[in-house]
Amino acid sequence: MHYRSFLADSRRWDGFALRPGDIIISTPPKCGTTWTQMICALLIFQTPDFGRPLDLISPWLEMLTRPWADVLADLEAQTHRRFIKSHTPLDGLPAGDGVTYVCVGRDPRDASLSMRHHLANIDMDAFIAAWAATIAADGVDDVRPPPPPVFGREFLERWIDDGTGLDEAPNSLAGTVHHLATFWAARDRGDVVLLHYEDLQCDQKGEMRRLADRLGIEVPESRWPALVDAATFHEMRRRADVVAPDTNEHLWKSNEEFFHVGTSGQWQDEFDEELLARYQRRLSELAPADLATWLHHGAPLSC
């Protein structure tokens, strides 16, 4: 299945040559994508210093703010084990022998608040310039321009109720649940790894070790403390200029604010009784009970 919006086009995967060992990190937006990219980088390079910005090592392949030829050249030139960012559900990703698909879940309510802040932090002039240059370079002439963002309670109401076609992979509750459902249905596959934001917060070291085991990566015990520390929220925010995505395109008003809060349970300050009831009704239409429980709580682990 193809997923396409003003921002991303999963058809960029068509013809892309996967290699055995490739890792595709596919998450809904604002569910721990950059965190997981950082963890994968630390496991692969086994040092916090990568020599290049994380976004250039692990680009969002489908995003229409960098010409496809540039993204492809970067990935094809890599000789290390590749780990590629995606916001495409599993049914829109290519199959590859020896490829591992990593997905991260998060309480959708927290993801919605993170997205609202994310939109407020975008330098829209820089974004439009990068987007326009990319679609021109790629010869794309049939994509709609981005809609004007909304904020406040209106954003949350639209996020809950948005019924945009899922083939557009919208930033909505329906889009988030659909994405995670495609991985939830495949969670017992040997090539699929499910992580959860709550579990990463509860036991980051343990989850990093679990991911390393699933990826077949051995890490000397002496290196673990430095790697775990480098993947903390504080350290990633401190190094935002080289860790946050899209810094080369200067898409953010503040690179540091890309890492805004990073905690769970923020939704409790924003979702009043009416909004929460509205959310729960919509979620019950979109997700079976077992998936909904995992979305909200993760494994759960004992903190």
Residue keyed to tokens 């805004």: 260
pLDDT digits 0-9 by tens, 264-283:
999 999 999 999 999 999 99
pLDDT above 70 covers a percentage of the chain that reads 97
Residue 87 designated active-site: yes
Average pLDDT over all residues of the chain: 94
Q: Which residues contact 89 (CB under 8 A, 6 or more apart)?
A: 1, 3, 26, 169, 178, 179, 182, 183
* 280 located within any domain: yes
C-alpha to C-alpha distance for 92 and 9, rounded to whole angstroms:
10
pLDDT digits 0-9 by tens, 209-254:
999 999 999 999 999 999 999 999 999 999 999 999 999 889 999 9
* 105 located within any domain: yes
* 208 located within any domain: yes
* 221 located within any domain: yes
pLDDT above 90 covers a percentage of the chain that reads 88
C-alpha to C-alpha distance for 157 and 162, rounded to whole angstroms:
8
* 165 located within any domain: yes
Count of the separate structural domains present in the chain:
1
246: left (phi > 0), else alpha (psi -120 to 50), else beta?
left
* 279 located within any domain: yes
C-alpha to C-alpha distance for 169 and 88, rounded to whole angstroms:
7
Domain range for 270 is: 10-297
Sheet of 192-196: strand order equals: 83-86, 23-26, 100-105, 192-196
Among 2, 87, 179, 250, the active-site one is 87
**What is the structure's pLDDT at 15?**
80
CATH code: domain of residue 171:
3.40.50.300
* 167 located within any domain: yes
* 147 located within any domain: yes
**What is the structure's pLDDT at 303?**
62
**What is the structure's pLDDT at 300?**
66
C-alpha to C-alpha distance for 237 and 256, rounded to whole angstroms:
5
Q: Is the pLDDT of residue 63 over 90?
A: yes
Q: What is the mean pLDDT of residues 112-118?
A: 94
C-alpha to C-alpha distance for 271 and 45, rounded to whole angstroms:
41
Q: Which residues contact 267 (CB under 8 A, 6 or more apart)?
A: 107, 109, 110, 112, 113
